[in-house]
Amino acid sequence: MASATNTTASADWPMWEVFVQLELGEPHQHAGNVHAPDARMALLNARDVYSRRGLVKSMWVVPSETITASTPGENGEFFEPGNDKLFRHPQFYKSPKGVGNLE
């Protein structure tokens, strides 16, 4: 994680996004972010800020600059391929009467 290590004042400490898992088996969820000079201390800071009540089962920190996000203004075209394929949903299909629910 040397690339995210910074050597100057705390103002320039990189930002880390914090993800927490609240129940075993559940996905990790975004909780917020922290500033820290390296990953190890980011995790310690994240623990102090985002799990003061011990409800967290697992925690990730990720350098904020490494996250690539979709662009809100282009959501329409970007997510379009998923919107017009009703046949991906089970409700699209009809079964003959009497066979009941195929699911």
Partner 1 sequence: MDDAAKLKEFDDRIARGEIFEPKDWMPERLRKQLIRMMSQHAHSEVVGMLPEGNWITRAPSLRRKMILLAKVQDEGGHGLYIYSGVESLGVRREDLIDELHAGKAKYSSIFNYPSLLWSDMGAIGWLVDGAAIVNQTTLAKCSFGPYARAMIRICKEENFHKKQGYEILSTMMAGTPAQRAMAQDSINRWWWPSLMMFGPTDKDSPNSIDLMRWGIKRKSNDDLRQRFIDMTVPQAHAIGLTIPDPALKFNKETGHWEIGPINWEEFFNVINGNGPCNKERIAARKHAHDEGKWVREAAVAYAQKHSSLERRAA
Query: Which residues contact partner 1 (rule: CB under 8 A)?
Result: 1-2, 5-11, 15, 31-38, 40-41, 48-49, 52-53, 69, 71-73
- Give the nearer residue to partner 1 in terms of CB position, either 25 or 73: 73
**By the 8 A CB rule, do 11 and 45 touch?**
no
Q: What is the 3-state secondary structure (H, E, C) of 41-86?
A: HHHHHHHHHHCCCCCCCEEEEEEHHHCCCCCHHHHHHHHHHHCCCH
**By the 8 A CB rule, do 45 and 36 touch?**
yes
- Give the nearer residue to partner 1 in terms of CB position, either 76 or 100: 76
- Give the nearer residue to partner 1 in terms of CB position, either 69 or 102: 69
Q: Which two tokens stand for residue 28?
A: 């990790």
**Least distance to partner 1 from the beta carbon of 46, Å?**
10
Can you tell me the distance from the alpha carbon of 93 to that of 16, in angstroms, rounded to the nearest whole number? 45
**Least distance to partner 1 from the beta carbon of 15, Å?**
7
**Least distance to partner 1 from the beta carbon of 83, Å?**
18
- Give the nearer residue to partner 1 in terms of CB position, either 32 or 95: 32
